[in-house]
Structure 1
Amino acid sequence: MAKILLNKQNYFHNLKLITKQAGAIEKVAVVLKDNAYGHGILEIASLAKEFGIKNAVVRDLKEAKKVESFFEQILILADTTFHNYSHTFHIAVNSIEQLERVPENTNIHLKIDTGMHRNGISIDSIETAIYGALRKNLNITGIFTHYRAADELSCEFFWQRSNFIQVKKAVLKICEKLFLPIPKFHSANSSALFRFKNFDEDLARVGIACYGYLDTDSCFNNPNLKPVMSLWAKKLSTREIYPKQRIGYGGIYTASEKINSSTYDVGYGDGFFRLNGKKKYLTAKGYEILGRVSMDNCSINSTDEEVCIFDDVRQLAKIHDTITYEITTALKANIPREVI
């Protein structure tokens, strides 16, 4: 059966670089949404706890409950089924309308729209939102935003950062006026964190960098991150292929010489994106995937009992014209994951 191996040494290497950039381990919040970007939410949460991480970010309540015992604070980004929560959970509120649906005494982080225009409370409505939260007896424990272009060489990152600085000033003024405790302020995702020369926020929400990647412009001085995940497949059968014989659906691959070809138990049904045979892809050891990837298997010019399909997804991301996130998050949760 196919399996995913998680390199503990590489994960800890990445966390050390992230912690150094953030300035303190207490400022690092690991993003575990969507099964920890495909790496396995329980496996990665356990490693993060072992490293000493206290904060996490998840997508919904279901994910939060899975890792509740691992962290002191868990930010839930996109839950819509509001009810009473654990004191560990902090709910992201993306609109003033959502305030009415959050139960009393819930910890909340107000999301402010500083320019991405995807969701979040407008800057002009901050005071309205804070008063609305107070009327509902909600605990405002955080104020945050999200950058739309932190990974690109442009002025937009600095524009949004400037907007968030104004947000912070406005919130601090209101908190002083109303004698409210100061919430945590955070805006940085992985790309943004490494664009700060002196990180001065309370939290950094770090996702893809934890797993060894930063999909940013090459001009940035990115850290030497190491991929954590490798995907392995087991051999099902082997056969000799003779010159001019073709392999797989559509016979896209034609052998130019006699080769040994084996079928391995990974396909697009497992979340390994379908290679269509038009672009050459080599595995970590240099074997070639021959022709089209099938739903449950693929053909490779190898006779090894196990083959590492990838230990770095950047080549696959280029072939599929996508980002590393999409390659890793697509892998099905039922593939066994093992920490090495």
Structure 2
Amino acid sequence: MSQLRSIINLDAIAHNTRVVKAEAGGAKLMCVVKADGYNHGMRHVAEVMAANGADQFGVATLEEAVLLRDAGIMQPILFWLWTPTIDLSPAFDRGLDIGVAGLEHVRAVVAAGQPARVTVGVDTGLNRSGIDEEDWARAFTLLAMQPQITVTGLFSHLSSADELGSTATDEQVATFKRALAIARACGLDPRCNHLANSPGLLMHDDFGLEMVRPGLACYGYSPLPTSSYGSELRPAMTWEADVVTVKRIRAGEGASYNLTWHAPSDGYTAIVPVGYADGLPREVQGSFAVTINGRRYPQVGRVCMDQIVVWLGATTDVEPGDTALLFGPGDRGEMTATEVADAAGTINYEILCTPRGRTERVYVGG
């Protein structure tokens, strides 16, 4: 087993799927498993999600959708990030749902002349992907004229659902419902529409639509600034490493590049084999800690390419081979991904996606 590991608890994935399914009420559940299942392993987590209530799956790219279908996932799979010049035949052959994010994407699917399942992405205020409002009628009418194309529904993405008190979400919901009315007036029958991401679901339920589309919550984290939202979720990833060596250091001696830290007293340091090449941000210097044998110890000095220095103080309880917890659920005293994100000045989504390089993924439970 590698000395640097990402432990994925599939029982936590199952639990979170059931939690978000219950939160959705009567709406269907699309679990988002893009970016290799938020770095948890797309195929493994999708199998567990499918067994615990996921009705559909969402990914970004055609390649991700193909991998998921070829892994045996038979629920509808929607992908939405593609250029109109690509070969869509893998999507047609596998019965994948195609998200169209612009008028040119609609034309590309129409020009292929193949039976297709299409979900229409509409821009409701994020100003990213999605058909612009001035093109809605043309896109809807063109799709309504194609007997070989089944339009499953409309979808959009929220810009500010994680901001307490923001009016942007209400405005986007109103715009989305206007798009639905125009689609129906143009001859479409969109029956499975979705707008709620993780913060949208946790704070606003399903907006009266037929499906919800959470991502982060499925992996056990809330995107919201208060723990009252998503408090039942269980983080599924633990990032850990083996202590390589324990060293003596004298008071006043420096450690790591540029000797930016100096020992406040005689004591010991532990060397842990993780660095920025493995995804640990250099920005966490001075704000990061690892947990060894139930006790937190501060990381000190520069974060190197493949190792960090940990200040143990006067303790000699740590030995080479002990496990250093980098982040996890927090139930063993370790930092959570949210705490590490705060230390790095970023968000927990990014921290979950960072373990890489020499990190070996290990599955437990399930």
TM-score, L = length of structure 1: 0.90
Instruction: Specify which of 335, 342, 351 is matched with residue 327 of structure 1.
Output: 351
Q: Which residue number in structure 1 is paired with residue 127 of structure 2? A: 117
Letter aligned with residue 11 of structure 2: Q
1:87 Cα deviation (Å)? 4.3
Instruction: Specify which of 207, 232, 242 is matched with residue 215 of structure 2.
Output: 207
Deviates more, 1:296-305 or 1:72-81: 296-305
Q: Which residue number in structure 1 is paired with residue 266 of structure 2? A: 258
Give the whole-Å Cα distance in 1 for the aligned partners of 2:205 and 2:129: 28
1:295 Cα deviation (Å)? 0.7
Letter aligned with residue 108 of structure 2: R
Give the whole-Å Cα distance in 2 for the aligned partners of 1:19 and 1:110: 24
Give the whole-Å Cα distance in 2 for the aligned partners of 1:142 and 1:253: 57
Alignment check: 8 A CA contact 1:150 1:191 kept:
yes
Alignment check: 8 A CA contact 1:276 1:292 kept:
no
What SS does structure 2 have at the residue aligned with 1:100? helix
What SS does structure 1 have at the residue aligned with 2:203? coil
Alignment check: 8 A CA contact 1:150 1:192 kept:
yes
Runs of 4+ in structure 1 over 4 Å off: 219-222
**What CA deviation, in whole Å up to 9, does each residue of 1:245-291 have, x standing for no partner?**
111111122111222222222111011212463x3322244122121
Alignment check: 8 A CA contact 1:231 1:310 kept:
yes
Q: Which residue number in structure 1 is paired with residue 326 of structure 2? A: 309
1:226 Cα deviation (Å)? 2.0
Alignment check: 8 A CA contact 1:21 1:199 kept:
no
Aligned-residue RMSD, C-alpha: 2.2
Q: Which residue number in structure 2 is paired with residue 64 of structure 1? A: 65
Instruction: Specify which of 161, 185, 188 is matched with residue 173 of structure 1.
Output: 185
Instruction: Specify which of 66, 77, 82 is matched with residue 79 of structure 1.
Output: 82
1:199 Cα deviation (Å)? 5.1
List aligned pairs for 1:199-238, cutoff 5 A: 200-218=208-226, 221-238=229-246
Give the whole-Å Cα distance in 1 for the aligned partners of 2:18 and 2:176: 27
What SS does structure 2 have at the residue aligned with 1:322? coil
Task: Say if 1:106 and 1:334 are closer, same or farther in 2 by CA, change over 3 A.
Answer: farther
Task: Say if 1:90 and 1:333 are closer, same or farther in 2 by CA, change over 3 A.
Answer: farther
Q: Which residue number in structure 1 is paired with residue 315 of structure 2? A: none
What SS does structure 2 have at the residue aligned with 1:108? strand
What SS does structure 1 have at the residue aligned with 2:6? strand
Q: Which residue number in structure 2 is paired with residue 295 of structure 1? A: 305
Alignment check: 8 A CA contact 1:240 1:259 kept:
yes
1:127 Cα deviation (Å)? 2.4
1:219 Cα deviation (Å)? 9.0
Alignment check: 8 A CA contact 1:87 1:107 kept:
no
Deviates more, 1:82-91 or 1:133-142: 133-142
Q: Which residue number in structure 1 is paired with residue 161 of structure 2? A: 150
Unmatched 5+ stretches in structure 1: none
1:125 Cα deviation (Å)? 2.6
1:191 Cα deviation (Å)? 0.5
Letter aligned with residue 55 of structure 2: K
Q: Which residue number in structure 1 is paired with residue 143 of structure 2? A: 133
Give the whole-Å Cα distance in 2 for the aligned partners of 1:290 and 1:303: 18
1:303 Cα deviation (Å)? 2.8
Alignment check: 8 A CA contact 1:144 1:185 kept:
yes
Q: Which residue number in structure 1 is paired with residue 173 of structure 2? A: 161
Alignment check: 8 A CA contact 2:249 2:268 kept:
yes
Alignment check: 8 A CA contact 2:79 2:99 kept:
yes
Deviates more, 1:75-84 or 1:330-339: 330-339
Count of residue pairs the alignment pairs up: 334
Instruction: Specify which of 277, 285, 288 is matched with residue 281 of structure 1.
Output: 288
Give the whole-Å Cα distance in 2 for the aligned partners of 1:23 and 1:174: 30
Unmatched 5+ stretches in structure 2: 313-317, 329-335
TM-score, L = length of structure 2: 0.84
Give the whole-Å Cα distance in 1 for the aligned partners of 2:284 and 2:237: 23
**Residue identity (%):** 25
1:157 Cα deviation (Å)? 0.7
Alignment check: 8 A CA contact 1:35 1:333 kept:
no
Q: Which residue number in structure 2 is paired with residue 185 of structure 1? A: 193
Task: Say if 1:187 and 1:334 are closer, same or farther in 2 by CA, change over 3 A.
Answer: farther
**What CA deviation, in whole Å up to 9, does each residue of 1:1-34 have, x standing for no partner?**
211011223222222221111124x711111111
Alignment check: 8 A CA contact 2:118 2:150 kept:
yes
1:324 Cα deviation (Å)? 0.6
Q: Which residue number in structure 1 is paired with residue 97 of structure 2? A: 90
Alignment check: 8 A CA contact 1:241 1:259 kept:
yes
What SS does structure 1 have at the residue aligned with 2:232? coil
Deviates more, 1:281-290 or 1:266-275: 281-290
